[in-house]
Amino acid sequence: MGASARPRLHFTPAAPFFADKNKAFWRLQLIGWAGAMLLRAVTSLANGRPLSLLVIVLIATVTGFSISLILSVIYGRLIHRRPLVTWSATALVLAVAVILSAGINGWVLSLYQAQTSDTGFAGYVLGVFYLDLTLLGAWSALYYAINYFLQVEEQADRLERLEAQATSAQLAMLRYQLNPHFLFNTLNSISTLVLLKQTEPANAMLTRLSAFLRHTLVTQAGGKVTVAQEVHTLQLYLDIERMRFEERLRTQFRIDPAASNAQIPSLLLQPLVENAIKYAVSPQEEGARISLSAQVLGNRLRLVVADTGPGAQGRELAMEQAGSHTQSTGVGLANIRNRLAQAYGEEHRFEISTPPEGGFTVTIELPFDPLPEVPMRGTYPPPAAAAKPAVDPPVHKPPALWATESNT
């Protein structure tokens, strides 16, 4: 039998004990009172008591079990009141419950010992009072302890969900800043082509813009994509920009195979490439080369976006000369910092540098988070391929993804 035909074992993780509170209550109720009955029965037999006394133990256990059910209903209403009301009412209810339990158990014992003992009913009640007080008092303490613990857990879960929703909303807001910024530049270029009556280039740019938007909009806001999918998105974006800059825009991709399946926030690299085009390709007559590399170093993923432009000082000078016009539409590096801080906290590295040979380099390090591969028998294509959004192929797709360089 081939390896692919071997049976596979599937393990379902056990549900938390308190996932179903009603079921958990009955389990604890039965286990607790059964344990108390067993302890009293063993103690009676060890002290040489007759077997008939086990009937008395059984009756006492049923009595305590029944009274505790009534207490659970009353405590369930008291637990949400003010502390003073809760604890004063609990003490009163517990005292009544203990007196009731002791009265029933004392009466049963008086009937059982009627022929052999001269002890009166009051004596039997006092004899079992402390035992019933201990059992019902411990039961009450456990009831409140467990329910307060569950309330704290629920509040913690609720707070965690709210924080996750706030983080997701923040990530979505940061990501939604990208498309308007990019659309502003692209639609402005299309408008210029239309004014110049260059219908064919304008139509081609619109077609590529629609392919890019289809590819980006199918990914969930604040979600993650693989490095391979992010590179494919960049290629779609660069196809649009090459309509503007032609041979002035040169690109180079060097993606290690191990890094291609790593997950990163969607559209994380697009603003970096956009800034490189804005500050390196656009202002220079000869243009510039933009390079992207991705590699796995231990349990970290390193992404490097670099260009051969004027460097950090040249960018600052350009921003000062442009004044508020550059600041008004730029998202850029601040957006990337905020998204990484929201998604990874202190588990990331974001570094900007200007190499000695010039240019501008942005280095990002993230925890290596590969897309899990879940084999599915009889399913084609594999889940990873099936999850990849279906888009139109880019017009200028490089011949290979993992080590490519384009001059056009």
What is the DSSP track for 291-311? EEEEEEETTEEEEEEEE-SSH
Alpha helices in 113-198 (DSSP H): 121-176, 178-195
Q: Check if the beta carbon of residue 122 is closer than 8 Å to that of residue 110.
A: no
The DSSP element (H or E) to which 404 belongs, if any, is strand 403-406
The first and second tokens of residue 227, run together, are 């490095």
Cβ-based neighbours of 338, under 8 Å, separated by 6 or more: 170, 174
Spatial contact of 272 and 294, defined as CB atoms under 8 Å apart: no
Residues 6+ positions from 59 with CB-CB distance below 8 Å? 105, 108
The three-state DSSP-derived secondary structure of 104-124 is HHHHHHHHHCCCCCCCCHHHH
Six-digit token string for 169: 């909303």
Element housing 261 (H / E):
none
Residue type, 340: L
Torsion angles phi and psi, residue 360, rounded to 5 = -140, 130
Q: Give the 3-state secondary structure of residue 320.
A: helix
Residue 45 phi, psi (nearest 5): -65, -35
Residue 370 burial (C-beta neighbours within 10 Å; 0-12, 13-18, 19+): middle
Q: Is the pTM of this model over 0.75?
A: no
For residue 315, how many other CB atoms are within 10 A of its CB?
A: 23
How far is CA 52 from each of CA 57, 60, 63, 102, 121, rounded to the nearest angstrom? 9, 13, 18, 20, 20
Token duo for residue 314? 């040249």
pLDDT at 394: 40
User: What are the CA-CA distances from residue 150 to residues 80, 144, 205, 282 (Å)?
Assistant: 13, 10, 58, 60
Q: What pLDDT, on the 0 to 100 scale, is given for residue 170?
A: 58
Determine the Cα–Cα distance for residues 225 and 343; give it in Å rounded to an integer.
13
Structure confidence at residue 311 (pLDDT) = 76
Give the integer Cα–Cα distance in Å for 321 and 350.
Answer: 26
Q: What residues does 370 pair with on adjacent strands?
A: 262
Name the phi and psi angles at 323, rounded to 5.
Answer: 70, -140
> What does the H/E/C string look like for 242-257?
HHHHHHHEEEEEEECH
Q: How far apart are CA 295 and CA 374, in angstroms?
A: 23
Contact between 276 and 360 under an 8 Å Cβ cutoff? The reply is: yes
- Please state, in angstroms and rounded to a whole number, the distance separating the CA atoms of residues 339 and 173: 10
Element (H, E) at 33: helix 21-46
| Cα 320 to chain centroid, rounded | 41
| Number of residues that this document lists for the chain | 408
Listed as ranges, residues in the chain with pLDDT below 50 are: 1-5, 7-12, 324-330, 376-401, 408
The tokens describing 394, both together, are: 């880019």
- Please report the pLDDT score of residue 225 as a whole number: 87
Compute φ and ψ for 350, nearest 5 degrees.
-130, 115
Q: Which residue has the tokens 């004392």?
A: 106
Report cis status (omega within 30 of 0) of the bond before 381. yes
Residue 405 β-bridge partners? 252
What pLDDT, on the 0 to 100 scale, is given for residue 381?
A: 43
The β-bridge relationship of strands 288-297 and 249-255 is parallel
For the chain, how far is it from start to end, CA to CA, in angstroms?
Answer: 53
Q: Using CA atoms, how far apart are residues 24 and 17, in angstroms rounded to an integer?
A: 6
Yes or no: say if 348 and 364 are a contact pair by the CB < 8 Å rule.
Answer: yes
